[in-house]
Chains A and B, each alone.
Chain A
């Protein structure tokens, strides 16, 4: 166990993250990169970008609370130290997505009201299910919920958003690429550390499986709400702006309907859950369809 955890040391984190892929970035992107005029100058597209970014802030605030809260519950020093790096990663994500809101024109004094206005209730409920486990200092359920379910979802969502923005909005794509690299590390820790703990505590499996089922339901409900918001696509069509033909999981996102995009995202995330949960000895539970 200690050999595996040595790969998650703060020394490695310092070398690979702040002194690696984040070098020379400011709030996650190159100092001279800017939000594109297409979004900033169009009220409909700007509002849609704000709504999307708010969901990222909500998710990252949940991840920050969860990773910091799990430090006290961690059964060994090496896990505490890994979670310390994850805490700072999540705080950085909160910071960079909050700054994107400022870049999109949200005033600092309106930040919290903007987040309250746009936060998806299903995403808030998703976070609450996880944070209930963290509040009870339930380390195993907390790490499964945080590093496999939440991070697994974030990883796929960020990858899809990265594909959508890579050509159109290099600044936001750059911001996302750093968070994707972080999330990859977090998911790896969850899988590696928790498998051994679950073998020691098989009695916890039913509660963890129920948590995964509940969180998956609220995640699908969040996706359903998000892809029903078609104002931005309608606006792009209205102004004659062609959507980039980005590929995600073999689908051309420039051609796909919102329903097809929702389906491919949900399918990708749930398949990942099934694979990763299987590796740690947890049986994937199919959620109800919202």
Chain B
């Protein structure tokens, strides 16, 4: 049976029971059921979808294409991490992340189709940002080298923090359907960031030398992330100077997780 304590709060569980609970399919299902139930392709079917002006539509297509690059990187990265995860609970959690990332990719593809893109896969290839493609390649190299700490850092801290900052800003000014899709994606990202923070936090406490290696990974990836942020801020149409705020938001997210490297 599930080890939910009398108080109903998982934080009252012993550490071992806590991980058994929060890294389970059951926990994932209870979490997503709350906000995905009744949605179709990531949003409520009745949400208004007004026709966008041509220039706005064009910009949104480019943004969504780059979200697809990020989500494909996240899907490939998370699935590769299942193989190198150090224990069963991490494997099960990452499997829930795999399906989350697959869902994000699917809802962004579907949104592209709603916007009139006939072949989203070809469009993504055509409009993909170079920085994001490089980031994806480097992430998969880290996963391929079976470097668990560096790969989980790149995937569940850097990439997820980047997506969190961008989606959050974009949702504030996006059309109703896109905003709703983004807000539901953000709810998943919070869980992924939580896993990365928890997993790495414990490892850093037990082996502080890992910090230097993660610092090197962060320095290597930061410029790709910041380039991608600047591109996206321009496309979202943020006012001048707002791209710096977005960059600070990303760096702040990473720092808040305790990774001042």
B126 to chain A, nearest CB (A): 15
Contact present for B98 and A68 (CB under 8 Å): yes
Q: When each residue 72-115 of chain A gets 1 if its CB lies under 8 Å from chain B and 0 otherwise, what string results?
A: 10001100110111011011101100100000000010010000
Closest to B109 in A: A77
Contact A85–B99 (Cβ < 8 Å): yes
Interface presence of B230 (CB below 8 A): no
B98 touches A26 (CB 8 A): no
* Nearest residue, chain A, Cβ from B101: A84
- The SS class assigned to the B binding surface is helix
Residue of A nearest to B119 (CB): A2
Bound state CA distance, A13 and B88, in angstroms? 23
From B68, which residue of chain A is reached at the shortest CB distance?
A77
Question: Which one of B1, B29, B99, B105 has the greatest number of beta carbons of chain A within 10 Å?
Answer: B99
Q: Looking across the interface, which residue of chain A has its beta carbon closest to that of B99?
A: A88
Is A241 engaged at the interface, CB distance under 8 Å to the other chain?
Answer: no
The answer, among A13, A69, A77, A91, for a CB contact under 8 Å with B25, is A91
Report if A215 contacts B (CB, 8 A): no
Cβ of B222 within 8 Å of any chain A Cβ, yes or no, is no
> Knowing A71-B79, A72-B80, A88-B95 touch, does A98 contact B88 (C-beta < 8 A)?
yes
B183 within 8 A of A: no
Q: In the bound complex, how far is the Cα of B32 from the Cα of A46, in angstroms?
A: 36
Q: Tell me, in angstroms, the Cα distance from A69 to B96 when the chains sit together.
A: 15
Least CB distance from B155 to A in Å reads: 13
- B102 contacts the other chain (CB 8 A): yes
Does A84 contact B99, Cβ atoms closer than 8 Å? yes
Complex-state Cα separation, A218 to B252, whole angstroms: 54
Say if the beta carbon of A161 comes within 8 Å of chain B. Answer: no
Task: Look across to chain A and name the residue whose beta carbon is closest to the beta carbon of B42.
Answer: A11
Q: Which residues of B lie under 8 Å from residue A217 when comparing CB positions? A: none
Decide: A77 near B72, CB < 8 A? Known: A65-B83, A87-B82: yes
Q: Mark B1-42, 1 if CB is under 8 A from A, else 0.
A: 110000000000000100010001110010011001100110
Q: Report if B111 contacts A (CB, 8 A).
A: no
Given A88-B96, A88-B98: A80 touches B72 (CB 8 Å cut-off): yes
Expressed in whole angstroms, the Cα–Cα distance for A80 and B26 within the complex equals: 23
Closest Cβ–Cβ distance, residue A74 to chain B (whole Å): 9
**Which of A14-22, A47-55, A232-240 is near enough to bind chain B?**
A14-22
**How many residue pairs between the two chains, A and B, have CB atoms under 8 Å in the bound complex?**
108
Interface of A, secondary structure class, is: helix
Q: 8 Å CB contacts to A: which residues of B203-248?
A: none
Asked if B76 is an interface residue, CB under 8 A from chain A, the answer is: yes
Interchain CA distance A9-B106 in the complex, whole Å? 8
- Sort chain A's interface into a size bin: 20 to 34
Query: Taking the nearest CB of chain B, how far is it from the CB of A150, in angstroms?
Result: 16
Contact flag A68-B95 (CB < 8 Å), given A80-B72, A85-B102 = yes
Chain A positions within 8 Å of B32 at CB level = 18
Q: Does the CB pair A64–B103 fall under 8 Å?
A: no
Take A9-B106, A22-B29, A91-B25 as given contacts and tell me if A77 and B121 are in contact as well, using a CB distance cutoff of 8 Å.
yes
Residues of B within 8 A of A108 (CB): 16, 20
CB proximity to B under 8 Å, residues A1-35: 9-11, 13-14, 18-19, 22, 26-27, 31
Q: Which residues of B contact A83 (CB under 8 A)?
A: 79, 102
B159 at the interface (CB under 8 A from A): no
Is B249 in the interface zone, CB < 8 Å from A?
Answer: no
Q: In the complex, are the beta carbons of B1 and A10 less than 8 A apart? A: no
The CA-CA distance from A140 to B98 in the complex, in Å, is 21
Query: Which residue in chain B gives the minimum CB-CB distance to A14?
Result: B36
A76 touches B121 (CB 8 A): yes
CB distance from B88 to the nearest CB of A (A): 7
Q: Which residues of A in the span 208-250 have a Cβ within 8 Å of any Cβ on B?
A: none
CA distance A81 to B76 in the complex (A): 10
In the complex, chain A residues whose CB is within 8 Å of the CB of B177:
none
Interface membership of B179, Cβ < 8 A? no
Q: Report whether B91 and A91 are in contact in the complex, using a CB–CB cutoff of 8 Å.
A: yes
Q: List 9 A-B contacts (CB under 8 A).
A: A9-B106, A31-B1, A68-B79, A68-B95, A72-B76, A77-B109, A85-B102, A95-B92, A108-B20
Beyond A27-B26, A71-B76, 7 additional pairs, beta carbon < 8 A: A68-B79, A68-B94, A84-B98, A87-B95, A92-B92, A92-B95, A94-B88
Binding site for A on B (CB under 8 A): 1-2, 16, 20, 24-26, 29, 32-33, 36-37, 40-41, 68, 72, 75-76, 79-80, 82-83, 88, 91-92, 94-96, 98-99, 101-103, 105-106, 109, 120-121, 140
